[in-house]
Structure 1
Amino acid sequence: MLWISGCRPSSYFRLLYAISGKEFESHLNNYLQGKRTGHFSELSSLQLNSVDELQRKTIRLENQLSNKLASLQEEIADHPFAIIANEVGDLDEMYGEAEKTLDRHAKSLMNVVEEADKLRMEILKELVMNILSPLQAVNFLPASKKLHLCINAWGKTRDQQHGRNRETADREPHVQLHLEK
């Protein structure tokens, strides 16, 4: 469920199906009597096909971003060591090269995080604006926000349990590459 600085966009689909199933069970008597409410449990076949298509597209895009992140992480791990191992020039030159490389990688990582945020927004927007009915969208948005807040709270609790919170993170020394002459 956790993925590149937030929720996986595909978690929206699990949430949608969970809400739909719960509503179906709670409104079963109404359905048997022919009463309709327009909620999630009444997703049309066109909506279900659109959701399925968007879900498959989302998973494909998530996998592409995950692979991109994995490649960047491997490069980050290997590149500074290669610079140091080659011992190009003096220590100042090595430090400068390592610093440039790490800065470039940090920018690349930020680009992946931004792409993940953009994907989350695009998928949510597609669901809310183009697939769900207005009533379904009005009910889905608070549920998706609640999911986001719950995951965020869970992450903060886990950090505190493991002694990682904002206060201690600010006091802890940051690891930096220092090469002495």
Structure 2
Amino acid sequence: MFNPTWTSSTENIFLWAGGWRPTMAFHLLYSKSGLQFEPRLLELVDGNPTRDLADLSPDQLERIDGLHRQTVRLEKEISEEEAQVQESVADARMVELTHALAESEEVEADAMEQEMKTKRGRMNEVLQRADQLRLETLKGLVEILKPVQAVHFLIAAAELHLTLHEFGKSKDAAAAAAAAATGLPE
């Protein structure tokens, strides 16, 4: 649910609510914009559009900032909701059930399963909200950007994702090989 099987341990370090943190999209956009801006500064000063992320207009920047602020707020709400669900594992009912199970009261196993089912359901709702925010963030950014700018942004996102994935997989493979050579678990 939180760590998809296809991700590397490196990618898992950066996961938020089962996927990428929506505010990362803004950091990526600003980073890529800055990297494209610097070498094209003279073109921009001469009034020549670059048609990439270096060429964001004041209106676009204002709209991006508004979307960023909204995304930060919603991300915080989801994080707080996620924390509440996680902390509910230690609520009074769970403590009571774990104590009863430790005393071998098999009847409590069904109650524990039902309690965990409820908590999994709540966590699934959190993950769905997080996925929706990821989708709305990307959609919002792509709508603000000009088509060519959106292509530059989406290529940068794909490059970042794929490079991080491959880097992580190679690190995991090296760690597995080292563990196998020493006979230790990964």
TM-score interval, normalised by the smaller of the two chains: 0.7 to 0.9
Tell me, yes or no, if structure 1 residue 126 matches structure 2 residue 114: no
In structure 1, the residue matched to 2:121 is: 107
Q: Distance in 2 between matches of 1:52 and 1:122?
A: 15
CA distance in 1 between partners of 2:90 and 2:172 (Å): 24
Partner of residue 38 from structure 2, selected from 13, 25, 38: 25
Q: Is this contact kept in 2: 1:7–1:148, CA < 8 A?
A: no
Name the stretch that deviates more: 59-68 or 99-108.
99-108
Q: Summarize the alignment of residues 64-83 of structure 1 with structure 2, pairs less than 5 Å apart.
A: 64-78=77-91, 79-83=93-97
Q: Which has the higher contact order (CA 8 A, sep 6+)?
A: 2
AA aligned opposite 1:25: E
Q: Structure 1's 71 and 15: CA in aligned 2 closer, same or farther, altered over 3 A?
A: same
Judged with a 3 Å threshold, the aligned counterparts in structure 2 of structure 1 residues 115 and 152 are, in CA distance, closer, same or farther, namely farther
8 A contact 2:100–2:108 mirrored in 1 = no
Q: How does 1:94-173 map to 2 (within 5 A)?
A: 94-129=108-143, 131-153=144-166, 156=169
Structure 1, unmatched stretches of 5+, are 164-181
Checking the alignment, whether the CA contact within 8 Å between 2:25 and 2:138 is kept in structure 1 is: yes
Partner of 1:91: 105
Length-normalised TM-score, structure 2: 0.76
Deviation at 1:19, TM superposition (A): 1.0
Query: Quick one: which of 68, 72, 94 aligns to 1:55?
Result: 68
Output the aligned Cα RMSD.
Answer: 2.5
Shift of residue 35 of structure 1? 1.8
- Report sequence identity in percent: 37
Alignment CA distance shift 1:159-1:64 (3 Å): farther
Could you tell me whether the CA contact under 8 Å between 2:71 and 2:137 is conserved in 1?
yes
Tell me the SS of whatever aligns to 1:6: coil
TM-score by length of 1: 0.78
Alignment deviations for residues 80-102 of structure 1 (CA, whole Å, 9 cap, x no partner)? 22223468xx8232111001111
Q: Which runs of 5+ in 2 are unaligned?
A: 1-13, 177-186
AA aligned to 1:20 is: S
Task: Give the Cα separation in 1 of the matches to 2:25 and 2:151.
Answer: 14
- Aligned residue identity for 2:56: L
